[in-house]
Amino acid sequence: ILNVEQSPQSLHVQEGDSTNFTCSFPSSNFYALHWYRWETAKSPEALFVMTLNGDEKKKGRISATLNTKEGYSYLYIKGSQPEDSATYLCASTSSNTGKLIFGQGTTLQVKP
Amino acid sequence: GAGVSQSPSNKVTEKGKDVELRCDPISGHTALYWYRQSLGQGLEFLIYFQGNSAPDKSGLPSDRFSAERTGGSVSTLTIQRTQQEDSAVYLCASSSLGVATAFGPGTRLTVL
């Protein structure tokens, strides 16, 4: 994998459903993996930064895992609420350039 | 300040005019990015500054776009001879290695 890729591109779920998204990133020269939440008409808001293989982070109903050996991260939302509706971006930082490379995002819509 | 600030928040200009957008990053952050979001699109990388290294300009869409970062702090993005397709929200972000990247509130540019 040369770029950061996210799937699915979009997701529609019912309130109360749990959901997860995938972020794939280059495993060579990896330094850190970032997740952001981006609401319409706002700036992206940082959720997590993870650096170690096997890292798990949690913030309320949202959690994330990291596998640096195979180059993927999962973001989980438990019991989705309408206010979770947003685009979720992941980004990988390369250790040799320090540059943050973003995926195209997963747009989540939670229906009441 | 505590966060990344950008000015102006909104800019309306006429086609063919030059514009300057300013970004004040978080003090001490070594990396600074410019992105833009055109209507209905994702984050588009424009340029990346890291410390004293030469900037990564690979995302600049044309030679009408330029950016500089003075003293490793404030950055200015200049768009010469603006075109209607330059209309977008221009986002600035700053970070240091391993730290979550913080985004500014953005400048909404409208080219008439």
* DSSP per-residue string spanning B75-92: EEEEE-S--GGG-EEEEE
Residues of chain B with Cβ-Cβ distance to A34 below 8 Å are 100-101
B83-92: pLDDT as tens digits: 999 999 999 9
Residue A71 forms contact with B (CB below 8 Å):
no
Give strand pairing partners of B22: B7, B76
- Percent helix, strand, coil in chain A, to 5, is 5, 55, 40
Gap between the terminal Cα atoms of chain A: 37
Q: How far apart are alpha carbons A25 and A51 in whole angstroms?
A: 13
Average pLDDT over residues B44-66: 93
pLDDT digits (tens, 9 = 90+) for A1-43: 568 999 999 999 999 999 999 999 998 888 899 999 999 888 8
According to DSSP, residue B60 is labeled: -
Mean confidence (pLDDT) of chain A: 92
CB-CB neighbors (< 8 A) of A96 in chain B: none
- Confirm or reject contact between B43 and chain A (CB < 8 A): yes
pLDDT at B98: 67
DSSP result, A32-49:
EEEEEEE-TTS--EEEEE
- Among B3, B32, B7, which residue's Cα sits nearest to residue B21? B7
Average pLDDT, chain B: 92
CB contact B37 to A (< 8 Å): no
Residues in chain B closer than 8 A to A98 (CB atoms): 30-31, 50, 97
Rounded distance between C-alpha atoms, residue A62 and residue A21, angstroms:
11
Nearest CA in chain B to A98: B97
CB pairs under 8 A between A and B: 52
Query: Is the CB of A34 inside 8 Å of chain B's CB atoms?
Result: yes
Is A29 an interface residue toward B (CB < 8 Å)?
A: no
Q: How far apart are CA A45 and CA B96, in angstroms?
A: 16
Q: Give me the pLDDT at residue B47, please.
A: 95
B56-76 pLDDT, tens digit per residue, is 999 999 999 999 998 879 999
Contacts of A28 (CB under 8 A, 6+ apart): none
* A99·B56 Cβ contact <8 A: yes
Check pLDDT > 90 for residue A62. yes
Q: A32 vs chain B: nearest CA distance in angstroms? A: 6
Phi and psi (nearest 5°) for A82?
Answer: -55, -35
